[in-house]
A and B are shown apart, each in its own frame.
Chain A
Amino acid sequence: MKLIYFAWVRERIGLAEEEVELPAGIETVSDLLHWLRGRGENYESALQAQDMIRVALDKEHSDHSDAVAGAKEIALFPPMTGG
């Protein structure tokens, strides 16, 4: 699946997007964030305020308790500041 990052999440991770294979046991958005934080200091620094991170599954806002199964593109980003 494709992970895509925006704003300071993108900057702290150091990537705009990447393809990943999720290990078994990653069922929810929350599981995904936990797993990513263990992948390196850059991920930990980007995602440590985990509750604040917003996640979109295939371009739709989701909750951290939502299942990630079936999503092709998962986007992680800070709270939005448009308008």
Chain B
Amino acid sequence: MSVGAEPLVRVQAGPIDLAAEIAALESGGAAGALVTFTGTCRDEGGRLEALELEHYPGMAESEIARFAAEAARRWDLLAVAAVHRYGRVAPGETIVFVACASVHRGAAFEAAHFLMDYMKTRAPFWKREHLKDGTVGGWVESKDTDDHAVDRWRHVL
């Protein structure tokens, strides 16, 4: 593990400022690669008014921090950050932001992918749909493909 800075982990109700998040990861010139992922709320073909994200306060932060630390243990990272929103999120807005910086790109790509896959299936958040017609839709169902995505990392490193 060679993380230059502590993992930056946050769970917040307000919008995620991508430029500010990226600027906070400046490593003083050591990094040759910065990989960022932003997960965005879709409009589902114009049907969706907003997504509402429920979370488990305390556990949401501690689980994300656990995966961020695990990413830093598995790959040589200079910086790692993960920010997740809760509450109401409109189409086009960022729900989740993950960033990893490393000397060479391989570590940053893999670590960001790993961190995102774990956040999808292990961080305690639940989405429900609010529709344009004013009705509250159902809770979004979990996908087997997300579980399979996580399984893949069990065999890495």
Q: What residues make up the interface of A, taking CB atoms closer than 8 Å to B?
A: 4, 6-8, 56, 59-61, 75, 77-83
Q: How far is the CA of A4 from the CA of B57 in the complex (A)?
A: 11
Residues of A within 8 A of B140 (CB): 81
Q: How many A-B residue pairs have CB under 8 A?
A: 71
User: Which residue of A6, A59, A61 contacts B126 across the interface (Cβ within 8 Å)?
Assistant: A6
B56 touches A56 (CB 8 A): yes
**Residues of chain A contacted by B55 (CB below 8 angstroms):** 82
Contacts of A6 in B (CB 8 A): 54, 56, 124, 126
Known contacts A56-B59, A59-B58; 19 further A-B pairs (Cβ under 8 A): A4-B56, A6-B54, A6-B56, A6-B124, A61-B63, A75-B56, A75-B124, A79-B141, A80-B120, A80-B124, A81-B126, A81-B127, A81-B140, A81-B141, A82-B53, A82-B55, A82-B95, A82-B124, A83-B96
Enumerate chain A residues within 8 angstroms of B121, measured Cβ to Cβ.
79-80
* A77 touching B120, Cβ below 8 Å: no
Binding site for A on B (CB under 8 A): 39, 53-56, 58-59, 62-63, 84, 95-96, 116, 119-128, 139-142
Residues B59 and A81 in contact, CB atoms below 8 Å apart:
no
Which residues on the B side are within 8 Å of A77 (C-beta)? 56, 124, 126
